[in-house]
Amino acid sequence: MKKKLNKYFLPTLLFIFALTAAILFIMPTVLTITNSFMTEKEITANYGAMIESASADKKTYISEELNLKFIPDAVSIHQYLSVLFKSPDYLIKFWNSVILVVPITLFQVLLAAFTSYGFSRWQGRIREIIFFAYIILMLMPYQVTLVPNYLVSDYLGILGTRWAIILPGIFSPFSVFLLTKVMRRIPKAYFEAARLDGAGEWQIFWQICMPLSRSSMLSVGLLVFIDYWNMVEQPLILLSDEEQYPLSVFLSQINTGDVGLAFAVAVVYMIPALLLFLYGEEYLVEGITYSGGIKG
Amino acid sequence: MKKKNKKLLRTLGEWTWLTPSLIGVLVFFVIPFCVVIYYSVLDNPIFANFVWFENFGKLFKNSAFIRASRNTGIFTAAAVPLSVVLSLWLAFALNAKIPGKSWLRTCFLCPLMVPIASVVLVWQVIFHYHGTLNQITELFGAEAIDWLKTDWSYMVLTVMFLWKTLGYNMILFMSAIAGIPQDIIEVAELEGAGGWYKFVHIKLRYLSPTILFVTILSIISSFKMFREVYLLTGDYPYESMYLLQHFMNNTFNSLDYQKLSSAAVLLSLVMIILIGGLFLAERKFGEDVED
């Protein structure tokens, strides 16, 4: 009897727990999406209290309750129409995000592939020390790295321009760390065989190493993309012109002002990330798994 | 002589692969960080008098810095262990025989990809004084709590942190659990080891490198919680949500190089000591396990 209980009861309990947690986890995302299909009037009726207290902020809560609603009374794409056609501001900020994040992701991964080849093809004491330094650098929080970034951008005269974010982003050591781990797993025999067949290092890199690590590069690219798509710290400090702020920073300002449109903008902002996630979940999992072996 | 030249050429060839990245890292991180260290022991960048540790002394007397590091410290100390334990539990749960595993995994990973700025609205509605959470607790007769403007904000931070990080950590643990050699567990079972013994003495030992890594990663992400707070409450949050990054931002605004540099140097030292300590602890705990 006890055995049977254990066999069915425990897994069911576990499943219910896990299921509840999973539902709670996707709830904020789902709510954001469903709310984006409300009319602006319905949004203001439900969430108007948020703006009121945010602007007054005198602990006088004149307004009524906030009603978190799951399903809109009337489904409408009016919010989206306003975002797309009436207020170009959001689209400009979206574009700001794109031209910061895409070059960083692309070039960080490409440069990292190149560098990782150097770290994995030949090994030596000095290279090991440098690689270790890269790991330490990777583990430093923004609060440490932003001060050097600021100084050097100031010195190079790129402070306040997008380059102040893009250049340090490209040289950030995160992808080098992950791709070196991946490339070190490629059997040495592949390289030696190509070498014997007369291939140069450049050829070995492009024709053997790159194809073998293509999926890992996608995984690393995904992780880099999402990290920078989320950035808040760097633009606040390194950009001076608010016109250049990416949508991630700008969204915090409409939260208090333009609540009627905020949900639609939020959804537009998460679409690229969500699409990448749905398309590349396996790559993402692989990338995370690779990041796990910090020791070996 | 010719042989020597050839060898030199080869070494040069090997190093060209590293050069672009090395130059970038030196220019954007290492050299300016040396300047930061230099600034941290000067009284000001123009006259450049050495004052050694005076800037650090001032920093320890700065009430904003103390509050910021205290808040960040408390939050990290509470949220990181919680994140490690919960994600480990989730990983074991998803490794057990339950239906719909891949769907569950997708749900837990989803927050990782969703930009914080997008869901911050929902967090706001939930934790607002007149928001959802208070409406629910009031159903049970509890007093309404101002979650964002009292010390409860630590809890709000922790919830948002767990929501964001559990998926990533869970994946790391799942792959590590899959790597535990099954034969050792079978031998232990044959010798009559109980569930608890198997868990503590075998599974945890094999997982210890991953636990170390997850802890380090979570500490780093806990330093990034400024994003959530900034998006939720702007530049001036309630004082228990005033984090190190707020302090840095405000110092950047006044461009106090001495304060900035000494804070950055101090923080990097703390991180190195913390990570080094964790490495040592892991080595001690997992020493009988060969990889």
Series of mean pLDDT values for 10-residue runs along chain B (291 residues): 79 88 94 91 75 84 90 92 94 84 89 87 83 82 80 88 92 88 84 80 85 88 86 79 87 84 91 89 70 47
Q: Which chain B residues have a beta carbon less than 8 Å from that of A232?
A: 116-117, 226-227, 230-231
Chain B residues with beta carbon closer than 8 angstroms to that of A47: 125
CB contact under 8 A, A25 and B234: no
Task: Going residue by residue through chain A, which has 296 residues, state the pLDDT in tens, using 9 for 90 and above.
Answer: 555 666 677 778 888 888 998 999 999 899 888 888 887 777 777 776 665 544 444 333 334 567 677 777 777 787 888 878 777 788 888 999 999 999 999 999 999 999 999 999 888 899 999 999 998 898 888 888 999 999 999 999 998 899 999 999 999 998 998 899 889 888 888 888 998 988 888 899 999 899 988 888 998 999 899 999 988 888 988 988 888 889 888 877 665 566 777 888 889 899 999 999 988 888 888 888 877 765 43
**What is the spatial distance between Cα A63 and Cα A67, in angstroms, rounded to a whole number?**
12
Cβ distance of A252 and B27 shorter than 8 Å: no
Interface check A14 vs B, CB under 8 A: yes
Residue A38, phi-psi category: left (phi > 0), alpha (psi -120 to 50), beta (remainder): beta
Q: How big is the CA angle at A85 (ends B110 and A73), to the nearest 5 degrees?
A: 60
What is the per-residue pLDDT for A163? 93
- CB contact under 8 Å between A26 and B110, yes or no, is yes
Single out the residue of B277, B279, B257 nearest to residue B269, CA to CA. B277
B231 touches chain A (CB under 8 A): yes
Write the DSSP assignment of A251-292 as a string of letters: HHHHHHS-HHHHHHHHHHHHHHHHHHHHHHHHHHHHHHHHHT
Contacts of residue B277, defined as CB under 8 A and 6 or more positions apart, other chains included, come to none
Pick the closest to residue B93 from A25, A11, A286 (CA basis): A11
With CB atoms and an 8 Å threshold, state whether A66 touches B128.
Answer: yes
Task: Report the distance separating Cα B237 and Cα B153, nearest Å.
Answer: 10
**Helix or strand run (H / E) with residue B115:** none
Asked if the C-beta of B104 comes within 8 angstroms of chain A's C-beta atoms, the answer is yes
Amino acid, single-letter form, for residue B3: K
Residues of B in contact with A170 (CB under 8 A): 24
Q: Say how far apart CA A92 and CA A243 lie, in whole Å.
A: 9
CA distance A54 to B80: 31
User: What whole-number distance in Å separates Cα of residue A263 and Cα of residue A261?
Assistant: 6
Is B170 touching A (CB cutoff 8 A)? no
CB distance A151–B125 less than 8 Å?
no
d(CA A225, CA B102) in angstroms, rounded, equals 23
- Residue A163 buriedness (CB in 10 A; 0-12 / 13-18 / 19+): middle
Q: Please report, for chain B, the start and end positions of each structural domain, with discontinuous segments joined by +.
A: 62-285
- B chain contacts of residue A146, beta-carbon cutoff 8 Å: 248, 252, 264
| Closest-CA residue of chain A to B37 | A148
- Of the candidates B271, B226, B279, the one whose C-alpha atom is nearest the C-alpha of residue B249 is B226
Amino acid at A64: E
**What is the value of ipTM here, to two decimals?**
0.86
Distances (CA, A) of A114 to A118, A148, A287, B32: 7, 25, 18, 24
Residues 200-229, chain A, touching B (beta carbon < 8 A): 201, 226, 229
Cβ atoms within 10 Å, residue A122: 16
Q: Which domains does chain A have, with CATH numbers?
A: 84-291 (1.10.3720.10)
Q: How far is CA B121 from the centre of its chain?
A: 24
Give A97's contacts in chain B (Cβ within 8 Å).
none
A249 interfaces chain B, CB cutoff of 8 Å? yes
Q: What is the pTM of this model?
A: 0.87
Yes or no, beta carbons of B261 and A147 under 8 Å apart: yes
The HSE-up count of residue B122 (CA atoms within 13 Å, CB side) is: 28
Q: How far is A183 from chain B (nearest CA, A)?
A: 14
The domain made up of B62-285 has a fold known as: MetI-like fold (1.10.3720)
What is the interface size between A and B, counted as CB pairs within 8 Å? 278
B52 touches chain A (CB under 8 A): no
pLDDT at res. A2: 55
CA distance A66 to chain B (A): 5
Res B291: pLDDT = 47
Three-state DSSP class for residue B57? helix
Q: Report, in this order, helix, strand and coil percent for chain B, each rounded to 5.
A: 75, 0, 20
Which chain A residues have a beta carbon less than 8 Å from that of B175?
A: 289, 292
Q: Contact B248/A49, CB-based, under 8 Å?
A: no
- A77 at B interface, C-beta within 8 A: no
So what's the pLDDT on residue B233? 80
pLDDT for the residue numbered A257: 60
